[in-house]
Copies of this chain bind each other. A is one copy, B any other.
Amino acid sequence: MEIGHLHKALGGYPLFQGMAIDEISSLLDGHRFRNVRHHQHLYQAGEPADSFAIVLVGAFKLVRSTPKGEDTIVYFATPGEVIGGLLMQKSGGAYPISAVALGPSTALTIPKSTFVNAWQKNIQIQSKLMSTLYSRMCVLQDDKVGSKQSLQQRVAMLLLSLLDKRPDCGPNRIPIPLTRQEIADTVGASVESVIRCMSELSQQGFIQTEEKQIEILRTDKIAEILKA
Protein backbone atom coordinates (compact mmCIF):
# COMPACT_ATOMS: atom_id res chain seq x y z
CA MET A 1 0.00 0.00 0.00
CA GLU A 2 1.24 3.47 -0.89
CA ILE A 3 1.72 6.07 1.79
CA GLY A 4 -0.68 8.33 -0.03
CA HIS A 5 -3.35 5.67 -0.13
CA LEU A 6 -2.69 4.88 3.49
CA HIS A 7 -3.36 8.41 4.60
CA LYS A 8 -6.52 8.53 2.61
CA ALA A 9 -7.72 5.31 4.17
CA LEU A 10 -6.83 6.33 7.70
CA GLY A 11 -8.34 9.78 7.30
CA GLY A 12 -11.67 8.10 6.65
CA TYR A 13 -11.70 6.41 10.02
CA PRO A 14 -13.21 8.21 13.00
CA LEU A 15 -9.92 7.91 14.85
CA PHE A 16 -8.07 10.22 12.49
CA GLN A 17 -10.92 12.23 11.10
CA GLY A 18 -10.13 15.87 10.52
CA MET A 19 -6.39 15.53 11.05
CA ALA A 20 -3.69 17.01 8.86
CA ILE A 21 -1.53 14.65 6.83
CA ASP A 22 1.65 15.40 8.71
CA GLU A 23 -0.07 15.05 12.05
CA ILE A 24 -1.16 11.58 11.06
CA SER A 25 2.34 10.84 9.83
CA SER A 26 3.85 11.64 13.19
CA LEU A 27 1.47 9.20 14.81
CA LEU A 28 2.57 6.41 12.48
CA ASP A 29 6.29 6.68 13.12
CA GLY A 30 7.97 3.30 12.73
CA HIS A 31 4.85 1.62 11.35
CA ARG A 32 4.92 -1.75 9.62
CA PHE A 33 2.37 -3.55 7.52
CA ARG A 34 1.48 -7.02 8.68
CA ASN A 35 -0.38 -9.30 6.32
CA VAL A 36 -1.88 -12.16 8.26
CA ARG A 37 -3.54 -15.24 6.84
CA HIS A 38 -6.78 -16.78 8.00
CA HIS A 39 -6.54 -18.06 11.56
CA GLN A 40 -2.98 -16.86 12.01
CA HIS A 41 -1.95 -14.83 15.00
CA LEU A 42 -1.20 -11.12 14.91
CA TYR A 43 -0.50 -11.15 18.63
CA GLN A 44 -0.18 -14.10 20.98
CA ALA A 45 -1.30 -13.80 24.58
CA GLY A 46 1.80 -13.72 26.73
CA GLU A 47 4.13 -12.13 24.20
CA PRO A 48 5.84 -8.93 25.33
CA ALA A 49 3.60 -6.05 24.32
CA ASP A 50 5.90 -3.81 22.33
CA SER A 51 3.53 -2.64 19.65
CA PHE A 52 -0.12 -2.00 18.96
CA ALA A 53 -2.04 -2.13 15.72
CA ILE A 54 -4.69 -0.56 13.55
CA VAL A 55 -6.82 -2.91 11.47
CA LEU A 56 -6.77 -2.05 7.78
CA VAL A 57 -8.30 -5.02 5.99
CA GLY A 58 -10.32 -8.03 7.13
CA ALA A 59 -10.98 -8.63 10.80
CA PHE A 60 -9.41 -9.96 13.95
CA LYS A 61 -10.92 -11.84 16.85
CA LEU A 62 -9.58 -10.94 20.27
CA VAL A 63 -9.38 -14.19 22.21
CA ARG A 64 -8.82 -15.00 25.84
CA SER A 65 -7.94 -18.58 26.67
CA THR A 66 -9.55 -20.18 29.68
CA PRO A 67 -7.55 -22.36 32.05
CA LYS A 68 -9.34 -25.39 30.64
CA GLY A 69 -8.03 -24.80 27.13
CA GLU A 70 -11.26 -23.35 25.83
CA ASP A 71 -11.36 -19.98 24.13
CA THR A 72 -13.54 -16.98 24.66
CA ILE A 73 -13.84 -14.30 22.03
CA VAL A 74 -14.09 -10.93 23.69
CA TYR A 75 -14.23 -8.68 20.69
CA PHE A 76 -14.19 -8.47 16.90
CA ALA A 77 -11.95 -5.74 15.54
CA THR A 78 -12.71 -4.49 12.05
CA PRO A 79 -10.99 -1.90 9.81
CA GLY A 80 -10.25 1.37 11.54
CA GLU A 81 -10.18 -0.13 15.00
CA VAL A 82 -7.23 -0.21 17.34
CA ILE A 83 -5.87 -3.40 18.90
CA GLY A 84 -3.80 -3.26 22.05
CA GLY A 85 -3.85 0.51 22.35
CA LEU A 86 -4.78 0.39 26.01
CA LEU A 87 -1.72 -1.58 26.91
CA MET A 88 0.74 0.96 25.69
CA GLN A 89 0.57 3.09 28.78
CA LYS A 90 1.59 0.27 31.03
CA SER A 91 5.31 -0.19 31.28
CA GLY A 92 6.53 -3.63 30.30
CA GLY A 93 3.84 -6.27 30.38
CA ALA A 94 2.56 -8.81 27.93
CA TYR A 95 -0.53 -9.03 25.77
CA PRO A 96 -3.34 -10.42 27.90
CA ILE A 97 -5.23 -11.63 24.85
CA SER A 98 -4.48 -13.04 21.43
CA ALA A 99 -5.43 -11.40 18.15
CA VAL A 100 -6.27 -13.86 15.38
CA ALA A 101 -7.11 -13.00 11.79
CA LEU A 102 -10.50 -13.96 10.35
CA GLY A 103 -10.00 -14.23 6.65
CA PRO A 104 -6.91 -12.73 5.01
CA SER A 105 -6.30 -9.52 6.89
CA THR A 106 -3.77 -6.78 7.20
CA ALA A 107 -2.92 -4.53 10.09
CA LEU A 108 -0.63 -1.59 10.64
CA THR A 109 1.56 -2.19 13.66
CA ILE A 110 3.01 0.77 15.48
CA PRO A 111 5.82 0.51 18.04
CA LYS A 112 5.15 1.29 21.65
CA SER A 113 7.69 4.10 21.55
CA THR A 114 5.56 5.97 19.04
CA PHE A 115 2.61 5.69 21.38
CA VAL A 116 4.61 7.17 24.23
CA ASN A 117 6.18 9.89 22.11
CA ALA A 118 3.29 10.92 19.92
CA TRP A 119 -0.06 9.39 20.85
CA GLN A 120 0.20 10.06 24.53
CA LYS A 121 1.02 13.71 23.93
CA ASN A 122 -1.71 14.31 21.41
CA ILE A 123 -4.90 15.43 23.08
CA GLN A 124 -7.00 14.94 20.01
CA ILE A 125 -6.05 11.31 19.50
CA GLN A 126 -6.43 10.59 23.19
CA SER A 127 -9.99 11.82 23.09
CA LYS A 128 -10.74 9.73 20.05
CA LEU A 129 -9.19 6.69 21.65
CA MET A 130 -11.34 7.22 24.70
CA SER A 131 -14.51 7.36 22.72
CA THR A 132 -13.69 4.17 20.85
CA LEU A 133 -13.03 2.60 24.22
CA TYR A 134 -16.34 3.86 25.40
CA SER A 135 -18.20 2.13 22.64
CA ARG A 136 -16.25 -1.07 23.14
CA MET A 137 -17.10 -0.93 26.82
CA CYS A 138 -20.76 -0.53 25.95
CA VAL A 139 -20.61 -3.64 23.81
CA LEU A 140 -19.16 -5.62 26.68
CA GLN A 141 -21.81 -4.28 29.02
CA ASP A 142 -24.55 -5.21 26.58
CA ASP A 143 -23.09 -8.70 26.46
CA LYS A 144 -23.27 -8.93 30.18
CA VAL A 145 -26.86 -7.77 30.24
CA GLY A 146 -27.72 -10.23 27.49
CA SER A 147 -26.06 -13.18 29.17
CA LYS A 148 -29.28 -14.08 30.95
CA GLN A 149 -31.20 -14.45 27.73
CA SER A 150 -31.76 -17.64 25.81
CA LEU A 151 -29.15 -18.92 23.42
CA GLN A 152 -31.28 -18.00 20.44
CA GLN A 153 -31.50 -14.43 21.64
CA ARG A 154 -27.78 -14.19 22.24
CA VAL A 155 -27.04 -15.51 18.77
CA ALA A 156 -29.53 -13.10 17.25
CA MET A 157 -27.91 -10.24 19.14
CA LEU A 158 -24.48 -11.25 17.88
CA LEU A 159 -25.63 -11.48 14.29
CA LEU A 160 -27.16 -8.04 14.37
CA SER A 161 -24.19 -6.47 16.06
CA LEU A 162 -21.80 -7.96 13.51
CA LEU A 163 -24.01 -6.68 10.74
CA ASP A 164 -23.36 -3.16 11.96
CA LYS A 165 -19.66 -3.55 11.33
CA ARG A 166 -18.86 -1.86 8.02
CA PRO A 167 -21.18 -3.59 5.59
CA ASP A 168 -18.85 -4.11 2.66
CA CYS A 169 -19.87 -7.62 1.67
CA GLY A 170 -23.19 -6.77 0.16
CA PRO A 171 -26.43 -6.05 1.96
CA ASN A 172 -27.15 -8.00 5.14
CA ARG A 173 -24.06 -10.11 4.79
CA ILE A 174 -21.78 -10.42 7.78
CA PRO A 175 -18.35 -9.27 6.60
CA ILE A 176 -16.43 -11.83 8.67
CA PRO A 177 -15.96 -15.54 7.98
CA LEU A 178 -17.07 -17.35 11.13
CA THR A 179 -17.16 -20.99 12.14
CA ARG A 180 -19.89 -22.26 14.46
CA GLN A 181 -17.17 -22.83 17.01
CA GLU A 182 -16.27 -19.16 16.93
CA ILE A 183 -19.86 -18.14 17.36
CA ALA A 184 -20.07 -20.50 20.31
CA ASP A 185 -16.92 -19.00 21.80
CA THR A 186 -18.47 -15.58 21.48
CA VAL A 187 -21.89 -16.21 22.96
CA GLY A 188 -20.56 -18.59 25.57
CA ALA A 189 -22.20 -21.82 24.47
CA SER A 190 -21.25 -25.21 23.06
CA VAL A 191 -20.78 -25.78 19.34
CA GLU A 192 -23.65 -28.24 19.17
CA SER A 193 -26.09 -25.84 20.76
CA VAL A 194 -25.10 -23.09 18.36
CA ILE A 195 -25.52 -25.44 15.41
CA ARG A 196 -28.98 -26.47 16.56
CA CYS A 197 -29.91 -22.85 17.04
CA MET A 198 -28.67 -21.71 13.67
CA SER A 199 -30.15 -24.70 11.87
CA GLU A 200 -33.50 -23.65 13.20
CA LEU A 201 -32.98 -20.10 11.99
CA SER A 202 -32.01 -21.45 8.58
CA GLN A 203 -35.06 -23.71 8.35
CA GLN A 204 -37.27 -20.76 9.15
CA GLY A 205 -35.59 -18.92 6.31
CA PHE A 206 -34.22 -16.14 8.48
CA ILE A 207 -30.56 -16.71 7.71
CA GLN A 208 -28.44 -18.52 5.16
CA THR A 209 -24.81 -19.55 5.33
CA GLU A 210 -22.41 -20.62 2.65
CA GLU A 211 -18.65 -20.87 2.92
CA LYS A 212 -18.65 -19.39 6.43
CA GLN A 213 -20.37 -16.28 5.12
CA ILE A 214 -23.57 -15.60 6.96
CA GLU A 215 -26.36 -13.75 5.24
CA ILE A 216 -29.33 -12.44 7.13
CA LEU A 217 -32.43 -12.74 5.02
CA ARG A 218 -34.99 -11.46 7.49
CA THR A 219 -33.49 -8.77 9.67
CA ASP A 220 -36.94 -7.99 11.01
CA LYS A 221 -37.50 -11.54 12.25
CA ILE A 222 -34.08 -11.67 13.90
CA ALA A 223 -34.76 -8.39 15.67
CA GLU A 224 -38.11 -9.79 16.76
CA ILE A 225 -36.39 -12.64 18.57
CA LEU A 226 -34.60 -10.15 20.78
CA LYS A 227 -37.80 -8.52 21.95
CA ALA A 228 -39.45 -11.75 23.05
Q: Which residues of A contact B (CB under 8 A)?
A: 64, 66-67, 70, 72, 74, 86-87, 89-90, 96-97, 120-121, 123, 126-127, 129-131, 133-134, 136-138, 140-141, 143-145, 147-148, 188, 227
Contacts and interface: CB of A to CB of B under 8 A. Distances in A.
B72 A130 contact: no
A86 B148 contact: no
A123 B124 CA distance: 10
From DSSP, what is the main secondary structure of chain A's interface residues? helix
Contact of A133 (B96, B137, B148): B137
A207 to B, nearest CB: 23
A67 B120 CA distance: 40
Smallest CB-CB A-B distances: 4 pairs: A140-B140, A86-B134, A72-B145, A147-B188
Contacts of A140: 137, 140-141, 144
